[in-house]
Structure 1
Amino acid sequence: MTDTTIMTLIIVAYLVIVAVIGLAGTKLITGSDDFMLAGRRLGPFMVIAGLTATHIGGGAVMGVSEDSYVFGVSGVAYSAGTALGLILLGVLSAKKLRSLSLRTITDYLALRYNSKLVRGLASGLSIVAVTGIVAAQVNAAGGALAILGIDPTVGAVVAVTLFIAYTVFAGMWGVALTDAVQVLIVVIGVPIAAIAGLRAAGGFEGLRTFVESSSDIVTADYFSPVGMGVMAMLGIITPVVMYDLIGQDFYQRLFSARSAAIARGSAIVAGLLLLVFAIFPVIGGMSARALFSDLENSSSALPTLITEVLPIGLAAVIVAAILAAVMSTADSLLIAGSTHITNDFYREIMGRDPDGDSKRTLVVARVWTLILGVAALVFALSVPGIITVLALAYTMYASGVFVPVIGGLLWPRATRAGALAAIIAGSVGGLAGVFGLVDYGSVPEVVVGGGVSLIAFVVVSLLTKPADEKVGEELRQELAAEA
């Protein structure tokens, strides 16, 4: 039996076990709120694992190792953004918004600005964003399976089928249970693989020798913390930080926490954990470049390293855990998207089952989870590159929604008209740059979009009056009491 066959069998067995664990959550679901929020019963370990797993799959492991394979030390940009974003999330808003017992971040926007239109616009942008981010995870899964000789397209289809299967049935409970398993293995296994890979490459001196002898790598840039360029790094870090502060997938984890205090502490701890973990995918990607400089698919850099420098059994478990972590990121995003559709559009805007938790609403959530998963697969096959897709998705959402959310928390004078203007102006500004309609030079599109959004938010708010001062004042008092 060949090593590839052994690895394939171990990975398949691992994924089957994970699927069984995930499906066990089905027994805990009695209605749509259990499906979307795990009944708001998650303790600190489960919330920390969930927040960490949301980033540690396609982005902070596969994406960072891919960027580090190409750019070197500066590939850490994405992980730096995730860590900073989660820490700020814990400090600024986690406790405040969890105390309101919301289902979505757009519940807050609708409450703060007393507007269904604000809810609808923000939810629509969020759905597009989470679908794009799921697509990035699909690309990452395809890259992980490529080391088994599986075509990345076929691997992407297999991965989507697996994570849709247990997400549709088990919802947030299934996601939370599988996250706890994945995170423990990944945060232990990836550092082991990175250190083993570095030793195989001859240590840091061996890396430097390889880079100096390579005609296609600039040594100073490869070992520089800003090697890919300051503006390029800001183009990765800025949208990630902004998205962490407004992303439905993160707030859904926080809203599932047992208490507001658990939500706040978990976000901060998860950010610190990602900060410590960040260096290992970078080392892994750089070591893979030294050992396997001719990889056709740079997204398979870390899985290739793992399989080559570790014993076959341990390598298979770690690769399987990374693949499962990628799927855990994807499944939480699918639930985030279907929650927007179910809660914001079906319940609130359309007025169906506004106060209850009916079985029909649960069916709606499951159907839309399936639809969004298929849409993400189509997107993934159309746009290559993990970090590229992530940055695109983050920019689309963060450009328009970041200012109304954070501005609404920090500035009492903000109005409904100001929020609407900010969403529209920011989204248009960000997307104009993304699709090349306007050339912003080296300035990240999300920075321009966010700046346009902020100007529109402030100017229009100052020119208009709050739509319902009583509603705004009651919310401000409640938030102040929880601060």
Structure 2
Amino acid sequence: MSDTALMTLIIVAYLVVIAIVGLAGTKLIRGTDDFMLAGRRLGPFMVLTGLTATHIGGGAVMGVSEDSYVFGISGIAYSVGTALGLILLGVLSAKQLRNLSLRTITDYLALRYDSKWVRGLSAGLSIVAVTGIVAAQVNAAGGALAILGIDPTIGAVVAVVLFIAYTVFAGMWGVALTDAAQIMIVVIGVPIASLLGLRAAGGFEGLRVFAQTSGDVVASDYFSPVGMGVGAMLGIITPVIMYDLIGQDFYQRLFSARSAAVARGSAIGAGLLLLVFAFFPVIGGMSAHVLFPDLENTSSALPTLISEVLPVGIAAVIVAAILAAVMSTADSLLIAGSTHVTNDFYREIMGRDPQGDSPRTLQVARVWTLVLGVAALVFALTVPGIITVLSLAYTMYASGVFVPVMGGLLWKRATRAGALAAIIAGSAGGLAGVFGLLDYGGVPEVVVGGACSLVAFVVVSLLTRPEPAEAVARRLTPEPATV
């Protein structure tokens, strides 16, 4: 049997095992809260691995190694953003919002501002964002399967079918179980493969010689921490940090925690773990460029390196774990999107099933999981590049929603009208830059959009009358049983 055939067999077997582990979660689902939030019973290990897996799939592994293959050390930008974002999430808001026993981050906005319009606009933007981020995972999965000789488009379709299949049935329980099973393989296997790849490339001296002699890169930029450009790095880091602080997929993990203390500690722990892990995909991507300078599909840089420097059996398990982590990121995002539809639109805005726990609501959640997965596939096949898609999705959501969320937490004078103005102005400003309607001269679109949102938020809030503080406090008082 050829090495490629053996690797294919091992990867298929691994994914079957992971699917079985995930589907085991169906036995724990008795209602919509079990499907969306694992019954709020997850402990620190499960929450930490879940938060880590949400970033460590398509972004912090595949995306960073792809950027590092092209730009060198500065490819670490995305990982730096993810780590800082999760640490800030733990410090600023994880404990406070978990105490409220919410289902979505837009539940908080609706409570804080007492507005269905705020809920609807922010939930709509979040759905667009999570669909775009799933699309990035689809691109990453296609890149991972490309080393088996599978066309990336066909690989993307296969990945979508796989992660939709077990997400629809297993929900958050399935996601949590698969995260715990595979994340340790990734955080151990990727560093080993990257260091072995670095040795095969001649160590850091080999990277230096390659950068000086290759016509593909500029040596001074390849080893500069800002080699891709400060503006480009800020364009990656800023929206990632902002998204981490408001992203439904992260809060859904925190809301699944069994306590507020678990939510806070797990967010900080996941950020620190990602910060340590961040350097290895960079080393792997740069080493892959030395060893495979003519790689056509740069998103498969790290899987190609793994398949070449490790024994075929170990390589197959690590590649399979990366692929499974990518799909785990995607499935948690799909649940985040379908939770918005069922909780924010179906239950709260449309007034169907006020308790949110009927079989019909669970059916709605599963149908929308399928719909959003198909939409993500279309997006992935339309917009190439993992980090490009991620940055686009983060910008669209963070520009409008970041200020109302953080402003609501930090500023008591904020008003409903100010929040609405911030969402509209920020989204318009960010999207105008993303689609080239306005030229911001190298300033990241999310920064301009966020600035527009902040100005609108402050000005309109100061011009309108705030609710009595007692009324807001009553809505935001935790239930004693959930503290």
Query: The TM-score by the shorter chain falls in which range?
Result: over 0.9
CA distance in 1, matches of 2:435, 2:356: 42
CA distance in 2, matches of 1:476, 1:330: 31
Whichever residue aligns with residue 17 of structure 2, its letter is I
CA distance in 1, matches of 2:96, 2:356: 25
1:266 aligns with 2:274: no
Structure 1 segment 231-310 matched on structure 2, within 5 A: 231-310=231-310
Aligned residue number for residue 63 of structure 1? 63
Whichever residue aligns with residue 15 of structure 2, its letter is L
1:149-186 CA deviation, whole Å, 9 max, x = no partner? 00000000000000000000000000000000121100
Structure 2 unpaired stretches of 5+ = none
CA distance in 1, matches of 2:203, 2:471: 61
Aligned residue number for residue 2 of structure 1? 2
1:175-214 CA deviation, whole Å, 9 max, x = no partner? 0000001211000000000000000000000110111111
1:111-141 CA deviation, whole Å, 9 max, x = no partner? 0000000000000000000000000000000
Aligned residue number for residue 128 of structure 1? 128
Query: Is the partner of 1:285 in helix, strand or coil?
Result: helix
Whichever residue aligns with residue 13 of structure 2, its letter is A
Aligned residue number for residue 315 of structure 1? 315
1:333-388 CA deviation, whole Å, 9 max, x = no partner? 00000000000000000001112411111000000000000000000000000000
CA distance in 1, matches of 2:108, 2:477: 14
CA distance in 2, matches of 1:356, 1:430: 34
Structure 1 segment 15-26 matched on structure 2, within 5 A: 15-26=15-26
CA-CA distance at 1:458 after TM superposition: 0.2
Whichever residue aligns with residue 216 of structure 1, its letter is D
Aligned residue number for residue 96 of structure 2? 96
CA distance in 1, matches of 2:457, 2:426: 9
CA contact (8 A) 1:112 1:471 kept: no
CA-CA distance at 1:217 after TM superposition: 1.1
Aligned residue number for residue 183 of structure 2? 183
Whichever residue aligns with residue 67 of structure 1, its letter is D
CA-CA distance at 1:467 after TM superposition: 4.2
CA-CA distance at 1:465 after TM superposition: 1.1
CA distance in 1, matches of 2:362, 2:478: 30
Identity, % of aligned positions: 84
Whichever residue aligns with residue 104 of structure 1, its letter is T
Which stretch of structure 1 is more off in the superposition, 354-363 or 194-203?
354-363
CA contact (8 A) 1:412 1:476 kept: no
Query: Is the partner of 1:70 in helix, strand or coil?
Result: helix
Structure 1 segment 467-478 matched on structure 2, within 5 A: 467=467, 469-475=469-475
Structure 1 segment 62-211 matched on structure 2, within 5 A: 62-211=62-211
1:413 aligns with 2:385: no
Query: Is the partner of 2:214 in helix, strand or coil?
Result: coil
Structure 1 segment 219-234 matched on structure 2, within 5 A: 219-234=219-234
CA-CA distance at 1:471 after TM superposition: 2.5
CA distance in 1, matches of 2:455, 2:182: 42
CA-CA distance at 1:441 after TM superposition: 1.0
Whichever residue aligns with residue 367 of structure 1, its letter is V
1:396-418 CA deviation, whole Å, 9 max, x = no partner? 00000000000000000000000
CA distance in 2, matches of 1:66, 1:325: 17
1:197-246 CA deviation, whole Å, 9 max, x = no partner? 00000000011011111123110100010000011000000000000000
Whichever residue aligns with residue 431 of structure 1, its letter is L
Which stretch of structure 1 is more off in the superposition, 293-302 or 207-216?
207-216
TM-score by length of structure 2 reads 0.98
CA-CA distance at 1:257 after TM superposition: 0.1
CA distance in 2, matches of 1:468, 1:246: 25
Aligned residue number for residue 429 of structure 1? 429
CA distance in 1, matches of 2:280, 2:102: 36
Aligned residue number for residue 335 of structure 1? 335
CA distance in 2, matches of 1:421, 1:453: 7
1:281-336 CA deviation, whole Å, 9 max, x = no partner? 00000000000000001000000000000000000000000000000000000000
CA distance in 1, matches of 2:471, 2:211: 61
1:386-438 CA deviation, whole Å, 9 max, x = no partner? 00000000000000000000000000000000000000000000000000000
CA contact (8 A) 1:74 1:228 kept: yes
CA contact (8 A) 2:156 2:377 kept: yes
CA contact (8 A) 2:32 2:356 kept: no
Structure 1 unpaired stretches of 5+ = none
CA-CA distance at 1:40 after TM superposition: 0.1
CA contact (8 A) 1:201 1:290 kept: yes
CA distance in 2, matches of 1:365, 1:173: 15
Aligned residue number for residue 42 of structure 1? 42
CA distance in 2, matches of 1:474, 1:415: 16
Alignment coverage as a number of residue pairs: 481
CA contact (8 A) 2:111 2:476 kept: no
CA distance in 2, matches of 1:260, 1:469: 24
Q: 1:306 to 1:347 in 2, by over 3 A?
A: same
CA contact (8 A) 1:65 1:281 kept: yes
CA distance in 2, matches of 1:312, 1:211: 29
Aligned residue number for residue 374 of structure 1? 374
CA distance in 1, matches of 2:140, 2:356: 38
Query: Is the partner of 1:462 in helix, strand or coil?
Result: helix
CA distance in 2, matches of 1:459, 1:267: 33
Aligned residue number for residue 349 of structure 2? 349
CA distance in 2, matches of 1:80, 1:393: 18
CA distance in 1, matches of 2:333, 2:122: 16
CA distance in 2, matches of 1:473, 1:459: 23
CA-CA distance at 1:478 after TM superposition: 5.6
Which stretch of structure 1 is more off in the superposition, 294-303 or 213-222?
213-222
CA distance in 2, matches of 1:139, 1:172: 23
Q: 1:329 to 1:247 in 2, by over 3 A?
A: same
Aligned residue number for residue 54 of structure 1? 54
CA contact (8 A) 2:101 2:478 kept: no
Aligned residue number for residue 398 of structure 1? 398
Whichever residue aligns with residue 103 of structure 1, its letter is R
CA distance in 2, matches of 1:216, 1:177: 42
CA-CA distance at 1:475 after TM superposition: 4.6
1:28 aligns with 2:16: no
Query: Is the partner of 2:353 in helix, strand or coil?
Result: coil
